[in-house]
Structure 1
Amino acid sequence: MTEEPPAASSLRLAALGPFCAFETHAEGSGLGAPWHPLSEVAEEGSGVLRERVAAVRASLAATGGGPPEAVELRVAASVAHLGLVARVLSPFLGLAALHGLPSRPLALGDLRWGSALGGAFRLSLPREAVTPAAAGDTRPVSTLADDLLDGPLRDLVDAFAPFSVSRHILWGNVASAVNGAVTGITAASPPLARPVRAAALAFLQRPPLRGTYTLHPRNGHFTRRSCCLIYRAAPGGAGALCGDCVLRHGRTTARP
């Protein structure tokens, strides 16, 4: 069973957009529908991840009016991965911007999800971990970045790599998700632009993400150095490119 975060925190996070919103549950509490541990997607042989990739593949193919087989499996896997990491990252960047960081490292199994396609699926975090820390006990954003990149986010990269998606693309997806969260939070609350950008840099400067993107010096525009491959889901591989895609900017460093 889950609970809403404290009222003020819940309202502030919800105001930052659906990808930042989350519910809470008591640590160690039982699971009930629709909740499942997010770690199930990384469990070998569970079938949950393969089912989700298949569902994303069917959805992408339906958009183009074709059968699931019309979309490469690795394309569907990359798109599914990007959606998952964006949903995991956004609440933490929202918390960082609001100065309410988790009080301890979180593993993928600490997170619970209500699996759904299209938009932000329901997400629940342990209440004890996201309760604001006492004054002087706040963990630095750099520590949060290390915890997530070496824990839940690496677990998701490892889980999707067997779908023949290069790790360069998968870590590029993570960097893109960081930038996407910044864009969404800044648009929803301009006063949070400075803290959320500082939090994003704490992530982007870490080794797994270093070298996966370019920040243009003149305007700060973010461009990833790989492609999430979604353009290949369209008939003939002629789909639109994402705003941060390396291919949009005429670069040749993408590694599809």
Structure 2
Amino acid sequence: MKIFYFTGTGNSLYVAKRIGAEVYSIPQMIKEGRYEFEDEAIGFVFPCYGFGMAKMISNYIKKSKFKSNYFFAIMTYGGKSASGLHNMEEIAAKSGIHFNYTNEIMMVDNFLPAFEMESEIKNKSSDEIEKKIVQIEKDISARKNQLIRKGVASDVLSKYVHKIADNVSKNFAYKQIKVNDSCNGCRVCEQVCPANNISVTKTPEFSHHCEACLSCIHHCPQNAMHLKSEKSKARFINPNIQLKEIINANCQVK
């Protein structure tokens, strides 16, 4: 079984690892030019971005060829998931992928303009998260057939919101992130960026193909990166994932 994942602060990587399979970072697969895979079961684990998935995921799936008898998709989210999985199903269908199983997991949301990290960390039950992951593990192991459906109204709304989010995200870092004087040029932000959108000489410089994953902000050792509209200065990294794992998953710097 193979699982393809995209992660900013570790939630989706943690879920992918817990399901138990060969895990493949989508940013690294793009970097290596690997687009053809075959296995008896193939899955995707990804965070909900604007009621859909990050552009990098959809672009990768559109270019790839996957062959399997059992496909599944798991979406992590923090607030409202709406029809985020429907976005994955639509894109995947264009590449000949028809899912047997989809599910979603509520976890800590790292999107600082919408959430206070202190409240997110306090209010999201790790026990409930673990129970949901265990259930998903069992479902996939049993090759259960189940698709999450939210209804036509949710699908239409999600498609509209996601289109707006896609247009906004590419310039998100360039327009929204400010770096203060505590930055020491350590390059962690550059290394954890999945989109190769950051270059550091003395301080970070942002390009125009951001995914708005906020990995750079949450991993900054100096807490030197801030959003104009952030609701808290607290940061979040999945406690089960180490920084080196995020760097290995996302670093596009040659």
Give the TM-score normalised by the residue count of structure 2: 0.25
Which structure dedicates a bigger proportion of its chain to strand? Answer: 2
**TM-score, normalised with respect to structure 1:** 0.25
